[in-house]
Structure 1
């Protein structure tokens, strides 16, 4: 056999007759790479061969004629381990998930959080104002003694208990609403309070007392609606509860809070007032 054939340069040369350098050259281009710019690094991705042709990664070290070079990368021969990191580049163009967008402060809520903050200020501030009238006598209020006397004249049993519950609900619930802290509990508390006030005023005179005289329930209805809205929307991000689930994504728990608030108001009215507030309204004539 001629030296030309032995060196693998003749037409009959096969894979087994190639020199080690030529085998390495063939192995690095066998993965279908057409341009150095097929890789974002601008280099031939030598590791691409081992991913596309797994069989070549399991054959010898390439140091002997007739053997295919081993895997390129960690544990491979003749290769710097740093080149293996080219295969670990993640695909680009992936979009962050909804949870990640929320954690990063996605601003697509627009002015929603500011609007909820205003709603909490108005509703919570109104309850706190009336609560401080009853608790401390501020803003020309009656104070605790005057509140107890008012409840007694209004037909409430155990007027001291009724006055304490009313004052605690207005002051505590109103303050927590303004802060946006424990918002479901705060909104449920003020809702129960205003529902009792609604039933008390409505029960004084037959027929619907929405906007007539001192027994009008118009303001009470608006405040009850605001409290219910906060229960179902949450306080928003301008609140101390901003890290809680209910701050921006309230769920079925909102319905539970609403039911409990109505139940507390009805049971309190039944136990301390003992009357039917709907007398004279529609089917309750």
Structure 2
């Protein structure tokens, strides 16, 4: 009497090795019956005992099931990010919180800030032709963009918004006093330059996995889209300056 076996489904990947089967050959039930049905993989000599079946003798498949993407990531170290995500979180926290701090100063007068009316007056004295429009745009970009940066939410748009703001702030301070003053002098732009550089770094590297955007492609491997946002932010700063302020910041 022979045993009937279910015909395997050749359209799916089937296990072929001990590890894939998840079984111990020594503990298999009906081992004797299997030795009668399944042939050995190597010819037996005349003096050998009864043929025995060796599961380990099954050769691996020519196209064994693999995960090439996972193997490639492991080989190139993509999954071993170390403290990279923590560092990006710290960078986002510092940059975003700084923009929020300056934004609430301008909006509500907190932390000894000028408040909304004081911000409009300051912009008017600084030569802005449309201070009533520039002030709310400035506050919205600093507060909204700063909060989104801290959260790591819609990071490319948030970074682009605050980058446009800080570039206009740099041009504004540069145009208030003659000559280029980076660190010393009333028109020093050191802080603005550092914030602009840090914002560009977040935009081009992504927010990391410690962010709301962690499942987005730009979180860990941003592409050409982030570079496009960078160019658009620079263009937005130039258009805003030309339309709402006018004049040459280098003069």
1:244 and 2:213 are equivalent in the alignment: no
> What residue number does 2:172 align with?
200
Unaligned runs of 5+ in 1: 1-24, 49-86, 280-285
Unaligned runs of 5+ in 2: 1-34, 45-50
| Residues 79-111 of structure 1: per-residue CA shift (max 9 Å, x gap) | xxxxxxxx99x958x566339969xxx851000
Q: With the length of structure 1 as denominator, give the TM-score of the two structures.
A: 0.66
- Offset, 1:255: 1.0
| Residues 182-230 of structure 1: per-residue CA shift (max 9 Å, x gap) | 0000000000000000001111223212112221100000000000000
Task: Give the 4+ runs in structure 1 shifted more than 3 A.
Answer: 25-38, 98-102
Cα gap change, 1:36/1:117 in structure 2, threshold over 3 Å: closer, same or farther? farther
> What residue number does 1:112 align with?
84
Correspondence 1:63-78 to 2 at 5 A: none
Cα gap change, 1:96/1:134 in structure 2, threshold over 3 Å: closer, same or farther? same
What value does the CA root-mean-square deviation take over the aligned residues? 2.9
Cα gap change, 1:243/1:29 in structure 2, threshold over 3 Å: closer, same or farther? closer
- Offset, 1:177: 0.2
Match of 1:39 among 28, 31, 55: 55
Higher RCO structure (Cα 8 Å, ≥6 apart) = 2
Correspondence 1:25-104 to 2 at 5 A: 29=39, 32=42, 36=52, 38-40=54-56, 91=64, 94=66, 97-98=69-70
Aligned length: 207
> What residue number does 1:163 align with?
135
Distance in 2, matches of 1:145 and 1:33, equals: 95
Cα gap change, 1:30/1:101 in structure 2, threshold over 3 Å: closer, same or farther? closer
- Offset, 1:237: 0.4
